[in-house]
Amino acid sequence: MSRRRWFIAAGAALGLSLAYLLAWPVPIDPVAWQAPPNPGYAGDFATNRRLADLELFDLSPSHGPEDLAVDRAGRVYAAVEDGGILALTPEGGFERWAETGGRPLGIEFGPGPGGADGAEVLYVADAFRGLLAIGPDRRPRVLVDAVDGVPVRYADDLDIADDGTLYFSDASTKFAAADHGGTYPASVLDLNEHGGHGRLIAYDIRSGAARVVLDGLQFANGVALSHDQRAVLIAETGMYRVIRWWRSGPRAGEVEPVLGPLPGFPDNVARGRDGRYWVGLTSPRSPALDWGCDVPWLRRLFERLPAALKPKATARPHVIAFDDRGAVVADLQDPGGPHAFVTGALEAGGHIYLSSLRAGTLARRPALEEAR
């Protein structure tokens, strides 16, 4: 090939590449916003190794114990990526207790329609199927797959109040986990668009009625009742924070920030002991996502990049405990540790159990004797 032809071919290839990067259709329509300051790993979040020396339980052939629950007998259960609900045995193995037929995320035991004296039911926020209930027969039943005519496309986490109201998050009404390659790819699309597609839904266990109580959230993730049950805490992943929605009292209906901005992406929220709450940070914040927050065309370009060149989540085990005032009372990390992409924590039986988005293990460490 002559030099002239080579330059023509190279120019054409470069032109096609630029046209692709600048104009090829993508599934997101990014919204300009201002990312809050990144506190980094300093102060309350100073680097430490308090998650070192974890006790690990092999989940093979399963992985991704995204959320955990404990039944009345104190047995711990994990929701895994292949659709299973696994129960931890006294010997440290796992019984495959149930199958959802989807991707179970948040799980919580609670009463059936008959009330607290009835059989214990496992409620599941399944990212593919909606809100499910699994009774003593271990067969999943769909309770909610649409609200107000809008499908539940990404059921994420849940908690149950003593009055029989179950609250669960629909992380994104636009980017369905089942339609975009799974929970992680769908979450990346929603976070990159920043369109406020998340919502909090209330479901009455006794009547079966469901209603939206809060919407416009930036990837609605973890859900936990406050200890006095007057409010619901929600991890708003796309804003790097935990917010509080007041469900009763003089401030009913109001929303306020509780914890944040955080140095990573908050995931599950759970009530702990001694008035604390736990939230997992699946990975540190993405400099590329923050840098392009107010440049929509740049985020479209990111979406067009080959998979190998796109910004990726970084593994850094990290879980935080905080109180009702939003004060950090415990910060547990292990940079480079084996149980990565931690999504949350469960306190049960003298231990803190750690869930994970991708790990092939369930992890635990002794319970905290002191707040820090």
CA distance 125 to 224: 13
What confidence score (pLDDT) does residue 368 get?
Answer: 87
Q: For residue 270, which phi and psi values (nearest 5 degrees)?
A: -145, 145
As a 3-state breakdown, the chain gives helix, strand, coil percent values, each rounded to 5, of 15, 40, 45
What confidence score (pLDDT) does residue 2 get?
Answer: 63
Helices 183-193 and 296-304: crossing angle in degrees, nearest 10, is 150
Task: Tell me the per-residue pLDDT of 244-257, one tens digit each, with 9 for 90 and over.
Answer: 999 999 999 999 99
What confidence score (pLDDT) does residue 166 get?
Answer: 98
* Element containing residue 243 per DSSP (H, E): strand 241-246
What confidence score (pLDDT) does residue 308 get?
Answer: 82
Residues 269-284, mean pLDDT to the nearest whole number: 97
Residue whose C-alpha is closest to residue 25's, from 306, 312, 301, 309: 301
**pLDDT above 80: residue 14:** no
Residues 257-261, mean pLDDT to the nearest whole number: 98
pLDDT confidence bin for 269, thresholds 50/70/90: very high
What confidence score (pLDDT) does residue 3 get?
Answer: 58
What confidence score (pLDDT) does residue 371 get?
Answer: 38
Task: Tell me the per-residue pLDDT of 278-315, one tens digit each, with 9 for 90 and over.
Answer: 999 999 999 988 999 999 998 998 888 888 878 788 99
Residues 138-165, mean pLDDT to the nearest whole number: 97
Evaluate whether 55 touches 71 at the Cβ level (below 8 Å): no
| More confident: 294 or 13 | 294
Evaluate whether 156 touches 105 at the Cβ level (below 8 Å): yes
Residue whose C-alpha is closest to residue 125's, from 206, 57, 198: 198
For the beta carbon of residue 206, count every other beta carbon within 10 angstroms: 13
- Does residue 81 fall inside a structural domain? yes
- Does residue 9 fall inside a structural domain? no
Residues 321-325, mean pLDDT to the nearest whole number: 98
What confidence score (pLDDT) does residue 305 get?
Answer: 85
**pLDDT above 60: residue 4:** no
* Element containing residue 105 per DSSP (H, E): strand 104-112
- Does residue 3 fall inside a structural domain? no
**pLDDT above 60: residue 162:** yes
What confidence score (pLDDT) does residue 22 get?
Answer: 46
Which of 19-28, 306-315, 357-366 reaches the highest mean pLDDT? 357-366
Residues 17-45, mean pLDDT to the nearest whole number: 80
pTM of the model: 0.93
Residues 17-43, mean pLDDT to the nearest whole number: 79
Residues 326-355, mean pLDDT to the nearest whole number: 96
Query: For 132-141, 238-247, 274-283, 286-295, which range has the lowest pLDDT when averaged over its residues?
Result: 286-295
Residues 83-94, mean pLDDT to the nearest whole number: 96
Residues 150-175, mean pLDDT to the nearest whole number: 98
- Does residue 295 fall inside a structural domain? yes
- Does residue 19 fall inside a structural domain? no
- Does residue 235 fall inside a structural domain? yes
Structure token pair of residue 57: 């339980």
**DSSP character at residue 173:** S
Evaluate whether 3 touches 225 at the Cβ level (below 8 Å): no
What confidence score (pLDDT) does residue 117 get?
Answer: 58
**pLDDT above 70: residue 107:** yes
Number of folded domains in the chain?
1
CATH number, domain containing residue 86: 2.120.10.30
- Does residue 348 fall inside a structural domain? yes
**pLDDT above 80: residue 175:** yes
Q: Supply the mean pLDDT for the chain.
A: 92
**pLDDT above 60: residue 352:** yes
pLDDT above 70 coverage of the chain, percent: 91
Give the structural domain span for 272. Answer: 39-366
- Does residue 11 fall inside a structural domain? no
